[in-house]
Amino acid sequence: MINFFRKIRQRLLTENKFSKYLLYAIGEIVLVVIGILIALSINNWNELKKDEIKERKLLNEMVEGLEFNVSNLKSILSDFKADDESSNLIITVIEHKRNYNDSLDYHFARALNAIPLYPITYVAYESMKNTGFDIVRNDQLKNEIINLFELTYSTAQLRQNNLPDLWDFIGKRFMNDPLGWSHKPFDFEDLVQDREFRSIINRMKSSRGYIGRAYVESLNESQRILQLIKDELDKSE
């Protein structure tokens, strides 16, 4: 093909047809430019498809991660409810000066239950940060995801970090239970009259409510954004 065009140029120059040669040269340049533009368009299309595949993979990972978070948050909130019921029962025992029985050991443990580590996975979000936030083309969805992890989840984490460490207190007043399912007091009568104990029970109940509200918000936002991501994936199918 190159030899074909070269022969045409040479023939036009030999025949001294400069105007035709000029038009031919311009036409050849136009063809080259068009070829370059087509090649660039194909390359851009290929890169766009690669980005779409990366985005879809990332969003699917985000769906999996958020489903994990939703499940864990529901479990934690269910535990909070049980812990709160035990707190109320222990408070009633103290206020009404009720006698000790073995069933209270379980409720002592729940009422003093240290809130578990924040049950959130950041794997997909860290992948999104490493890849670059712009991989998510929907700006509103991208901002929603960032706010969920950087604001909503972080707020709950900060609230949890302010909880008191009760291990020393528990160790001095209750028998050791390796499984942690029950706390048998060394001296029940002394315990229920202990102002520090009553203060801690009420503080844990209050803290549970304070942190629980952040967990509820985390759950609601996780479910909402999970649905937004699923909708985005459905649109791109």
Q: Where are the domains of the chain?
A: 56-235
Nearest-angstrom CA–CA distance, 85 and 79: 10
Q: What is the pTM assigned to this prediction? A: 0.77
Question: Which residues have CB under 8 Å from 163's CB, separation 6+?
Answer: 114, 115, 207, 211
Sign of CA dihedral 120, 166, 183, 213: negative
Give the model's pLDDT for residue 27: 59
Query: 174 φ, ψ to 5°?
Result: -130, 150
Of residues 147, 118, 124, the one with CA closest to residue 67 = 124
Give the model's pLDDT for residue 200: 92
Length reported for the chain: 237
State the Cα torsion 37-41-47-51 to the nearest 10°. 140
Residues of the chain with pLDDT under 50: 1-2, 4-5, 12-13, 17-18, 21
Nearest-angstrom CA–CA distance, 66 and 153: 12
Cα→Cα distances 219→55, 114, 120, 177, 181, Å: 24, 20, 11, 32, 27
Give the model's pLDDT for residue 114: 72
Give the model's pLDDT for residue 21: 46
Give the model's pLDDT for residue 161: 78
